[in-house]
Each structure stands twice: as structure tokens, then as C-alpha cells.
Amino acid sequence: MNKEILKKKRIMLLIICVIALGITPLALRGLQFGMDFRGGTMINLQLEREATTAEMSAIVEVLTRRVNAYGLRDMSVTPQEAMFIRVEVAETDPSAIETIKSIIGQQGHFETLYEGEVVLRGEGIVEVITNPQQGFGARRSNGGYEWNVPFRITTEAAREFSSAVEGECTQRIGTGNCEEVLYMYIDRPDGAVVLMTHEMYQEEREISISLSKERATPGGKLFTIEEVMEKSGAKLIVTDELTEEVLNKTQGEFVIIPEGVEQLQNIENAERIREVRHVGDYWAVDALNLENIVHLTPGVTSGRLVTQPSITGHAESLEEAQEEMNRIQILLKSGRLPIGVQVESVDNVSAVLGERFLNYSLLAGIIAIITVVSLVFIRYRKREIVLPLFITSFSEVIIILGAAALIGWQIDLPAVAGIIAVIGTGVDHLIIITDEAVGETKMKSGSMIRRVKRAFSIIVRATTTTIFAMFPLLFMGLGALQGFAITTILGSLIGVLITRPAYGTLVKELL
């Protein structure tokens, strides 16, 4: 290739862009591959209602803190629409995914109730204490493990709590506690209608203060399920079928039903339905998100400010205790979501399958370039055209990948599809330029410059149409196709501003 050609402005711009925007970012930062290629799990969340821009930003921030607190740094939280969010994590272990689902699927609204009234809220928490010397941790107790998560609250919150319980102590004989108790919740379903079968009701008519059947001591404090529901602000319906009376009571209500109980599934007139899995000893406790029932102490009811309360629990094994303890401290630390969320679906991609996807995508890209170059050679029979066309298409891909590395954009399957689409449309535009240039040399009609300019006017109009066609995918929330839209727009702009003008210059000089 003539050295004078390399000195042309458009050729020099292409070389600079390939080095500065392509090779350098790829060498220094490398590509970030999406879950499609590196393996992992994609959790799709649905919000209870459409979120504003500020609310969506807050939700993404809170969910990011939660997943990071779990120890997963290789993750992303991406809004899909006003009501959908996608969480991608580099984790495929089923037990770990279940834990992550439970963490990100909760709103994280902490409340403590006394006599049905809220006396302490999560907004009053200033710090979650994770220092074992200050009480955080799990310890062996009563054939299992007792765990404890202390937290520090503001002076104002401590004063409101103290005022609410001051003097409310009926001394329990033989203990240092009062008869009165506090109920602690995370995401209490206030005003919900809870449905359970008669069989479940008989098994849970009385609930131990420890929230564990195994740890319920003879003569220990028991609460009726009706009392627990009333103190939680929920309504209980015991039924084995959806009668007209039951349907009337659930009309327009937030309804909670047991997971897997078919006779209670077909509620069509409720405002919202949530199915709750039976995980703990009491399904009703799981349904109410009740974390703790604790006795007040004379010291607390004396008016003394308590600035460091705690949530405690019990588990059979140390692993279970640590898991539950970590879940609580993550929820308290990360804060409350402004809108409730629920897990819509979970998709897994193994690392082996992801590597296979990557290899196939690279092969598809190489085949695409070789195929179009071969067809161009067959069409024109000119090597001086084929080589510039190949160099231009390859440079375009390098700049796109370098720009993706520079801005930290993840390369996933839709993005690869966009790159292949850019190669196709790019070659189409290069053929338009080539046809004009070659036609001029054969027919000698009009100047080379005028014919190439006419080709570029066609290319600019076509590129503008392509970019505007991608806007709906970019801004209307079709999240899985955002990578395709961004890559196509980026590739189209790089092509019309850098690579195709350079190719036009090459063709004019060589022919």
C-alpha cells in the first residue's frame, strides 16, 4: 500500500481510532463478558407498581448493596422497565441462589410492634453491629445454636421506643422479664388476609415464643395464632375451599396463601396474591415475616433509653444460624426498598455452556467476515478492493470492542448479534461505495468524487434510519435487547464517522 495513502486524513483518523479506541482499551482493560459467556444466574424481579426514576435508582442501589454484602462482587443490577429489574450474579450453586433470592426478594422494612402499635422502625437504625465482642454471632445453646444481630438506633428512635413501653411491665415470677412482649418483623404484611387450611391451623393453633416447636419448653409462653395475627395487623381465614364467603372476604385484598395448596390457588378477585413456602416450624410465622418475639425487661420499661437492641434466633446447626444471621444483618444494613419486589423467574447458565457460547460467537463473527469478503471478491475480481474491505470491517469490530471495554459495557449474546448485524450493514454500505467507484472507472460517467459523495448520502440516510429504529429497544425497556441496540447504534456511528469514509478514500486512491 502506497505510503502517501496512509497520510490521508481519513486514513490517519482510522489508524488513530483503531489504536486509541480499540487496541489500547482491549489491552489495558479487557472485555467484560456477560452472564451468557461467563456463566451464572439471572434473577428477574417484578415491582409491585411502576417506579419513578428516583425510586428505580434507589432500588438498584439497595439491591447492589445487598448482593455485594453477600460477597458477590461479580454481579450487576439492571432496570429493564418501570416494573422489572434483572440481577445477574456469577453464582450457580442452588442453595446460594435460594439465599440470594430471599435477600433481594424482600423489601427490608424493619418494624417492632408492641400491643399492635409500631414502636421502632428501620429508619431509626444507624448501624448494624457485626463485632462479636459486642454480641454479634452464633453460639451453642439448648442443643442448637443461638444467633444474635445487635444494631444501634438514633437517640430520637430510642426515646420514642422508651416512651411507648415505659411502665408496661407485669413481672414474671421467677424471671427477670415482664409478661409483655415485642414483635419484630421484616416486611410485615399489614392488612393482609392470610388463608390456611384446617389441618395447618390445628398444627399451629399455638405458637411458641421461641418460634420453634423443638425449643418450646413445657409451661413456656405460648401465643394463639389468632393473637399473633391480630398483633401483626393481619386477618386470618381458615378454610379448605374457596367458598363464596371466602371470595367476598378476599375481594380487592392482599392475600397470602400457602405454596402448593391447590384448593386455595384460584383466587381471581384479590388485589395481590403471594404464595409463601413453609420453611420454618410455623408457616404462619413465615407468612407474617415475623422474626422475633421477645419479652420486655424491667430495665427497658423503667424509661431508660435503649440505643442498642438486637434480633435473636435459634437454629439446629451452626451453618443455618450463620445463614439466617447474615440474612438479617444484610437486610438491616442495606436499607428498605421504596417498592416491594417479588422474584419473577430464575435462569441459569453454566460456565461450560457460556464458554461454548463465546467460542460459537467468535466463530460466527469470523465466518461472517470471511463470507462477505469472499462474495465481494467473486463479484468484483479485484484484490485491491477485497483487502481494504476486510481491513475496514475488522477495524470496525476492533473499535466497537475497544469502546465496550472503555465504558465497561458487558458483551453478551445480544451484543454479539449487534456486532454481526453491524458487519452485515457495514459491508452493504462498503459495496455501495465500491459499486459507485468501480462503475465510474468502467463507464467514465461523472467524477469519482461526485459518485462517492452520492454513495455516502445513501449511507448516511440508511444509518440514520437504523439508529432511529434502535431507539425503541434502547429506551422502551426491552432489556434483553438493549445490548443489541447499543452495539448496533455504536457500530453504525463508528462506521459512518470513521471506517466508511476511510474506505471511500482507500478505494478512490487505489482505483
Full DSSP string of 185-213: EES--TTPEEEE-HHHHHHTSEEETTS-S
Classify residue 258 as left (phi > 0), alpha (psi -120 to 50) or beta: beta
**Look-up of cell digits 461450560:** 352
Classify residue 444 as left (phi > 0), alpha (psi -120 to 50) or beta: left
User: Exposure of 32 by Cβ count < 10 A (0-12 exposed, 13-18 middle, 19+ buried)?
Assistant: middle
Please count the CA atoms within 13 angstroms of the CA of 314 that sit on its side-chain side: 18
Question: CA 476 to CA 487: how far, in whole Å?
Answer: 16
Quick one: fold of 3-26+350-510?
A: Multidrug efflux transporter AcrB transmembrane fold (1.20.1640)
Beta strands in 288-422 (DSSP E): 290-295, 310-315, 341-349, 410-411
Q: Pick from 305, 330, 284, 300: which is nearest to 101 by CA?
A: 330
Find the radius of gyration of the CA atoms of the chain.
32
Q: Tell me the CA distances in angstroms from 211 to 291, 343, 361, 377, one per residue in order.
A: 8, 26, 53, 77
pLDDT at 476: 58
- Side by side, the strands of the sheet bearing 193-196 are 235-238, 193-196, 254-258, 272-276
pLDDT at 48: 85
Taking the chain (511 residues) in runs of 10, the rounded mean pLDDT of each run is: 67 86 87 75 88 87 84 74 83 82 86 92 90 89 83 92 91 79 92 93 91 70 91 93 90 90 85 85 92 88 87 84 86 85 83 73 77 76 76 86 82 79 81 71 56 78 84 63 80 85 77 63
pLDDT at 351: 67
Q: DSSP state, 178? A: B
Question: CA 65 to CA 104: how far, in whole Å?
Answer: 10
3-state secondary structure of 358: helix
Question: CA 205 to CA 127: how far, in whole Å?
Answer: 37
Q: Convert 419-454 to b/e letters by CB count within 10 Å (16 or more is b).
A: bbbbbebbbebbbbbbebbbebeeeeeeeeeebbee
Q: Pick from 464, 458, 469: which is nearest to 435 by CA?
A: 458
Question: CA 480 to CA 83: how far, in whole Å?
Answer: 15
Query: Domain coordinates of the chain in residue numbers?
Result: 3-26+350-510, 109-314
pLDDT at 256: 93
Question: CA 37 to CA 302: how far, in whole Å?
Answer: 61
Please count the CA atoms within 13 angstroms of the CA of 187 that sit on its side-chain side: 23
DSSP 66-130: HHHHTT--SEEEEEEETTEEEEEES---HHHHHHHHHHHTS---EEEEETTEEEEEGGGEEEE--
